[in-house]
């Protein structure tokens, strides 16, 4: 009579093969639907910097340099699209196959969920937010796959995960406070310890901040374009609106002041003051007429405004955060950047079908950032009860970092696009499947 181990081998092989087939199908569908990728304005600006051989810190100079290196593979959007799509399916694929080796049926569920909006609808859109999220998913998946392997296999994988987390930070520097949670998971992938994570948190955040400075301005020599001051300009507009008093370090005409205090402000994006009529006069005067943007005048005015009107600042920030989490914001990018009045891939039936599904889901909670934040918070609560297992540690690592990342937009957000919560989407999907595939708890560390 065959032993229990012998009876399990066929099941393991069958599940592994089925998961691998689903992953291959998913990757093939991604190429069929999206290739060569959807170019956005942000991506276009990055690609133009490659042609001009210039590097600035408004967009990530690391993305600019990376895209320049891989561009010969498929000039234009194709190379970056292939990098994003491959990272995405490697992340879900490695995690799925790791579950399959333990005969967990979540191995089949994971690639299916990876094909569903709102995760799949963004894989072909060239935004650094999508690349960053795919990098972090891949980092966490690699660690999960080797979490119970011997050190000669585990340690190199942990080092690779560290590099991938660092790449994510270099793509999106506002992940500085979220990255230490993922690093703690990579360091201790079988048990999540709150005390160890707290000890690691500040040194890791400081270390990543130093990495950004060294890479951006040391190794790459990027030009300082003062992206942080866009947050300040947005905040000054919000405080001016709620305090009903101009906070900018410039004077306005009577009609401009009335617009600034009453009609210009919307808790959606800072572009209102930068390039959108009729309120683009704000940056017109600050940047072009007075040449104050990028100088100490903006930070000084910002600090003073917050000290004088802290309640107005909180009203503005809470209004923005509510809009970001709950409103019907920009989701898929569909415009052809070279022909803005046209949709990309107008003759591609598979893409049109995906857009139709996306449009049906757009009014639902599935395409609200707040929904995915709540799912991540709930998974963290469940994961805390099982922090002594590798499944609980994974959930706390990915969903904990996603929770912190999304909540940082309360203070640093300047636009409400759904893509800024994309890491929470991938973390919630991966975390939920891993949690459902978990085993009995070992005694947890404190």
Is-contact 220 284, C-beta < 8 A? Answer: no
Q: Give me the pLDDT at residue 12, please.
A: 67
Is-contact 401 349, C-beta < 8 A? Answer: no
Q: How far apart are CA 212 and CA 226, in angstroms?
A: 14
- 47, two tokens: 């690609």
Q: Give me the pLDDT at residue 340, please.
A: 86
Strand, coil or helix: what is 82?
A: helix
Is-contact 160 146, C-beta < 8 A? Answer: no
Residues contacting residue 44 through CB under 8 Å, at least 6 positions apart: 337
Cβ neighbour number for residue 189 with a 10 Å cutoff: 24
Strand partners, 339: 336
Q: Give me the pLDDT at residue 438, please.
A: 73
Residues contacting residue 189 through CB under 8 Å, at least 6 positions apart: 143, 144, 146, 147, 154, 158, 390, 393, 394, 397
Burial of 173 (0-12, 13-18, 19+ CB in 10 A): buried
Q: How far apart are CA 242 and CA 189, in angstroms?
A: 46
Ranges of H-type helices in 53-127: 61-70, 77-101, 106-113
Backbone dihedral region for residue 57 (phi beyond 0: left; psi -120 to 50: alpha; all else: beta) = alpha
Residues contacting residue 363 through CB under 8 Å, at least 6 positions apart: 328
Q: Give me the pLDDT at residue 364, please.
A: 97
Is-contact 388 444, C-beta < 8 A? Answer: yes
Q: Give me the pLDDT at residue 8, please.
A: 46
Pairing between strand 38-39 and 125-126? parallel
Is-contact 376 356, C-beta < 8 A? Answer: no
Run of H or E including 282: helix 281-283
Cβ neighbour number for residue 71 with a 10 Å cutoff: 17
Q: How far apart are CA 281 and CA 289, in angstroms?
A: 10
77-101 vs 41-52: helix axis angle to the nearest 10?
120
Is-contact 75 185, C-beta < 8 A? Answer: no
pLDDT tens digits for the chain (446 residues)? 444 544 544 576 888 899 999 999 999 999 999 999 999 999 999 999 999 999 999 999 999 999 999 999 999 999 999 999 999 999 999 999 999 988 777 899 999 999 999 999 999 999 999 999 999 999 999 999 999 888 888 999 999 999 999 999 999 999 999 999 999 999 999 999 999 999 999 999 999 999 999 999 999 999 999 999 999 999 999 999 999 999 999 999 999 999 999 999 999 999 999 999 999 999 999 988 889 999 999 999 999 999 999 999 999 999 999 999 999 999 999 999 988 889 999 999 999 999 999 999 999 999 999 999 999 999 999 999 999 899 999 999 999 999 999 999 999 999 999 999 999 999 999 999 999 987 644 444 44
Burial of 167 (0-12, 13-18, 19+ CB in 10 A): buried
Is-contact 91 131, C-beta < 8 A? Answer: no
Strand partners, 125: 38
Cβ neighbour number for residue 75 with a 10 Å cutoff: 10
Residue by residue, DSSP assigns 360-381 as HHTTSGGG-HHHHHHHHHHHHH
- HSE-up of residue 195 (Cα within 13 Å, Cβ side): 3
């Amino acid at each position: 009579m065959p032993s229990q181990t012998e009876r399990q081998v066929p099941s393991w092989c069958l599940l592994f093969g089925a998961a691998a087939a689903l992953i291959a199908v998913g990757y093939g569908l991604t190429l069929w639907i999206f290739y060569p990728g959807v170019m956005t304005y942000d991506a276009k600006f990055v690609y133009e910097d490659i042609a001009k051989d210039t590097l600035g810190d408004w967009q990530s100079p690391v993305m600019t340099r990376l895209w320049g290196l891989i561009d010969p593979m498929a000039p234009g959007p194709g190379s970056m699209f292939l990098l994003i799509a491959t990272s995405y399916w490697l992340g879900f694929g490695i995690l799925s196959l790791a579950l399959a080796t333990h005969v967990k049926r979540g191995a089949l569920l994971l690639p299916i969920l990876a094909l569903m909006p709102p995760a799949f609808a963004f894989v072909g859109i060239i935004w650094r937010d999508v690349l960053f999220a795919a990098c972090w998913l891949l980092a966490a998946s690699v660690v999960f796959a080797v979490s119970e392997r011997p050190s000669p296999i585990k340690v190199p994988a942990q080092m690779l995960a560290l590099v991938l987390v660092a790449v994510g930070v270099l793509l999106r520097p506002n992940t500085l406070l979220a990255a230490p949670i993922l690093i703690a998971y990579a360091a201790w992938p079988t048990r999540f310890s709150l005390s160890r994570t707290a000890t690691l948190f500040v040194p890791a955040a400081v270390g990543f901040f130093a990495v950004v400075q060294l890479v951006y301005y040391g190794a790459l020599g990027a030009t300082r374009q003062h992206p942080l001051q866009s947050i300040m300009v947005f905040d000054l507009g919000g405080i001016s609106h709620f305090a009903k008093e101009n906070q900018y370090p410039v004077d306005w005409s009577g009609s401009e002041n009335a617009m600034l205090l009453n009609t210009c402000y919307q808790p959606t994006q800072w572009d209102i003051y930068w390039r959108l009529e009729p309120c683009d006069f704000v940056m017109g005067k600050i940047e072009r007429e007075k040449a104050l943007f990028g100088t100490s005048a903006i930070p000084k005015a910002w600090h003073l405004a917050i000290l004088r009107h802290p309640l107005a600042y909180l009203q503005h920030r809470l209004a923005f955060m509510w809009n970001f989490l709950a409103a019907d914001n920009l989701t898929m990018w569909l415009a052809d950047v070279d022909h803005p009045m046209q949709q990309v891939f107008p003759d591609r039936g598979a893409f049109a079908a995906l857009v139709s599904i996306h449009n049906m889901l757009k009014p639902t909670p599935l395409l609200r950032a707040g929904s995915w934040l709540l799912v991540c918070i709930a998974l963290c609560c469940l994961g805390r009860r099982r922090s002594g297992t590798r499944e609980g540690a994974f959930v706390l690592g990915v969903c904990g970092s996603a929770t912190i990342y999304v909540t940082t937009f309360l203070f640093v957000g300047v636009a409400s696009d759904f893509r800024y919560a994309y890491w929470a989407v991938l973390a919630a999907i991966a975390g939920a499947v891993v949690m459902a595939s978990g085993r009995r708890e070992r005694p947890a560390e404190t």
